Amino acid sequence: MVKALREETFYSVRMRASQNGPHEKGGKHISGGEQLSTYDNLKQSINVLLDKALSHSRGNPDFMQIQFEMIDEPIKKLKPLPIEINEAGSVEEGQSIARNLLEKAGVPTESIEKAHRELMEHSVLRGAILFDIRSCSRIGDRNEKGVRVSRMDWLTGDFEKWADHYNMSRSQRLKEALVLATKVSAHPATIAELCWSDDPEYITGYVASKKLGYQRITKLKEYGDERGCRIFFVDGSSHLQPYIDYLERQSILIQWEEDE
Ligand code: PML
Ligand code: MG
C-alpha cells in the first residue's frame, strides 16, 4: 500500500550547468535538463542530468545545480506531436523551409523577420523568447534568461517503443525536444515554435505547431556555431502570466498510443 502511494508521487528534477561561474554571475550556459521521476528513480534521473552536463560539447562546467521537488498538482498526459523530417542541403535551404513552415502554421512574415532580428541581438540566450504575433514584438522581457519550460518528461520505455515504431533514433536529445515542443504547442496561445540547438555539434532543429506537428529540419545552422534559438510565437499577450505559469509549472507526461 505504502509503495503504491509512493509510486504515484512524482518529482520534478532540474539541472543547469555553466562555465566561468553561475549563469546569474555571467557564466556561459553549458547545459540544462528536466526530468519527472518517481522517488525510487531519483538517483537515476539525477545521474542522467549529471552525465548530460559533464560531457557537453559546449565545454566543461564549473558550476552545476541539480534540484528536485515534489509535484503536488495533477500531471497532465499528452500524446507526442506527429513527427516529419525535412531534408535541407544547406543552412539557407533549412532556414527557408523553417520560414515556410512558420507561415503555414499562421505566423505572419513580419513577425518571423522581426523575431529573427531580435534573436541576432541575443546570441547567448539560454531560455526561450516569447514573440507576440499581434503586436509583432517580443514579450515577457527577461533578456538573456528567457523563459525555461519545466516539469515535463516521457518515460524511457514508452519513448523507445515510439522511436522503434517510427524508425527514429532513441536519442535523449530528440526525446527532450519532442517533449518540450509537445508541451508548448498544446497551449492554445502558442501558434508555433522555432528551435535549433546551441550545441556546436548539432545542426538539426525544428518548427513545431498543433497544426503541423514536429517538423524536423536537418540543417538550420553551420556546424561549430554555438548560437541556439528557441522562439515561441504566441497570440494572446494579454494573458502572458498564465502562459508563463503553464510553461514553467504545469507538469506534463508524454504518453504514446500506437494508432490502430
Ligand atoms: C537542443 O538540443 O537543445 C535542441 C535540439 C532540437 C532538435 C532535436 C531533433 O529533432 O533532433
Ligand atoms: Mg542544449
Whole-structure pTM value? 0.94
Q: Which of 83, 101, 196 to mutate to test the pocket of ligand 1 (most atoms within 8 A of CB)?
A: 196
Cβ-based neighbours of 257, under 8 Å, separated by 6 or more: 79
Residues 157 and 248 in one domain: yes
Residue nearest atom 8 of ligand 1, based on CA coordinates: 174
In ligand 1, the atom with minimum distance to the C-alpha of 202 is: 2
Task: Establish whether residue 206 lines the binding site of ligand 1, counting it when its CB lies within 6 angstroms of any ligand atom.
Answer: yes
Domain around 67: 3-72
The C-alpha cell of 86 is what? 525535412
Residues 102 and 34 in one domain: no
Domain total of the chain:
2
Residues 232 and 127 in one domain: yes
Domain boundary residue, one of 16, 49, 72: 72
Domain boundary residue, one of 17, 51, 72: 72
> Which pLDDT score is estimated for 4?
43
In a domain, 259, yes or no: no
Q: Is the pLDDT of residue 6 over 70?
A: no
Q: How far is the CA of 190 from the centre of ligand 1 (A)?
A: 19
Residues 68 and 96 in one domain: no
Residues 159 and 194 in one domain: yes
Per residue in 31-67, pLDDT tens? 999 999 999 999 999 999 999 999 999 999 999 999 9
Residues 111 and 217 in one domain: yes
Domain boundary residue, one of 33, 50, 72: 72
Answer whether 32's CB lies under 8 Å from 176's CB.
no
In a domain, 22, yes or no: yes
Task: Establish whether residue 199 lines the binding site of ligand 1, counting it when its CB lies within 6 angstroms of any ligand atom.
Answer: yes
Per residue in 201-252, pLDDT tens? 999 999 999 999 999 999 999 999 999 999 999 997 778 999 999 999 999 9
Per residue in 165-210, pLDDT tens? 999 999 999 999 999 999 999 999 999 999 999 999 999 999 999 9
CA distances from 10 to 78, 80, 210, 247 (A): 16, 20, 27, 18
CA Rg value for the chain: 18
Q: Is the pLDDT of residue 10 over 50?
A: yes
Residues 109 and 201 in one domain: yes
Per residue in 86-131, pLDDT tens? 999 999 999 999 999 999 999 999 999 999 998 888 767 778 999 9
The C-alpha cell of 11 is what? 518529482
Residues 155 and 210 in one domain: yes
